[in-house]
Amino acid sequence: MGVAKKNSNNLNTTVGYLLGETDKADLFKDPVMLQRLAELDKMDGTEKSHILHVLDGFIKSVKLRNIAAL
Please compute the mean of the pLDDT values over residues 32-57 and round it to a whole number: 92
Please compute the mean of the pLDDT values over residues 24-44 and round it to a whole number: 82
Q: What is the distance, to the nearest Å, from the Cα of residue 51 to the centroid of all Cα atoms in its chain?
A: 14
For helices 31-42 and 45-68, what crossing angle results, to 10°?
Answer: 140
Asked if residues 26 and 13 have their Cβ atoms less than 8 Å apart, the reply is: yes
* pLDDT value for 31: 80
pTM reported for the whole predicted model: 0.58
Number of domains present in the structure of the chain: 1
Please compute the mean of the pLDDT values over residues 44-63 and round it to a whole number: 94
Which domain does 19 fall in, by range?
Answer: 2-68
User: For residue range 13-27, what is the model confidence (pLDDT) as tens digits?
Assistant: 777 766 777 666 666
